[in-house]
Amino acid sequence: MAAANKIPLLLAAAAALSLAASAVAAAPGPRRRPVRMRLYMHDVIGGPGQTAIRLIWGAGPPHASMPGRAFGDTVAVDDLVTEGPSIASAAVGRAQGTYMLSSQREAVLVVAITVALTSAGGPYNGSNLVIAGRDRVRDETRELAVVGGTGALRGAAGYVLWRTAKVWSEIHMALELDVHASVPATADDDAVATE
């Protein structure tokens, strides 16, 4: 085949490849369904209703900005999770995991918790939401990652706006977890969308 005849063939092949690449790039990813929740986690560090226990305390060097604390201090939690900031609000689950003082100079915790949702009859009853990230405790709002989930929250991804909602006493504080996440859409979601 002469070189002049190959040019239109090459141009046609290039155009076809370009169209195929554009179609792949424009194709939507898997559909996702939004998940929005506002939960309150009650951290009680002492007394008869204690939900947080110190695992490692004072083993590292003294912390530069938090007197009485040391780098590496670690706490395990099994905190009540409620609908509202009051501990008397309806219980919707437990937040279980750890947080560790992970900066030598700043008031920063690394948080790894699983929120086990147990509210009877709710859409996420029996499901878990996994949250992890860096908590600069003196910031008004901190952003942590939603890194997974189970049950109706399987494959969850997104973020949590984490705030200290209320300091009830020197041993009890309520944290607000404003969840902005999504999960893969299911066949049931598709059926509802087409009705």
> Each residue of 112-166: pLDDT tens digit?
999 999 976 688 999 999 999 999 999 999 999 999 999 999 999 999 999 999 9
144, 133 contact by CB (below 8 A): yes
Neighbouring-strand partners of residue 40: 82, 176
Tokens of residue 122, six digits = 């709710």
Domains of the chain: 32-193 (2.40.480.10)
Please state, in angstroms and rounded to a whole number, the distance separating the CA atoms of residues 188 and 195.
11
Three-class SS state of 124: coil
**Separation in Å, CA 110 to CA 5, 38, 99:** 65, 21, 5
Q: What is the pLDDT of residues 11-47, one digit of tens each?
A: 555 555 555 555 544 555 679 999 999 999 999 999 9
Q: What is the pLDDT of residues 73-110, one digit of tens each?
A: 999 999 999 999 999 999 999 999 999 999 988 999 99
Please state, in angstroms and rounded to a whole number, the distance separating the CA atoms of residues 5 and 143.
60
Considering the entire predicted model, what is its pTM? 0.79
Alpha helices in the chain (DSSP H): 3-26, 187-194
| Residues near 150 by beta carbon (within 8 Å), at least 6 away in sequence | 127, 128
| Residues shown for the chain | 195
Side chain identity at residue 96, one-letter code: Q
Alpha helices in 42-186 (DSSP H): none
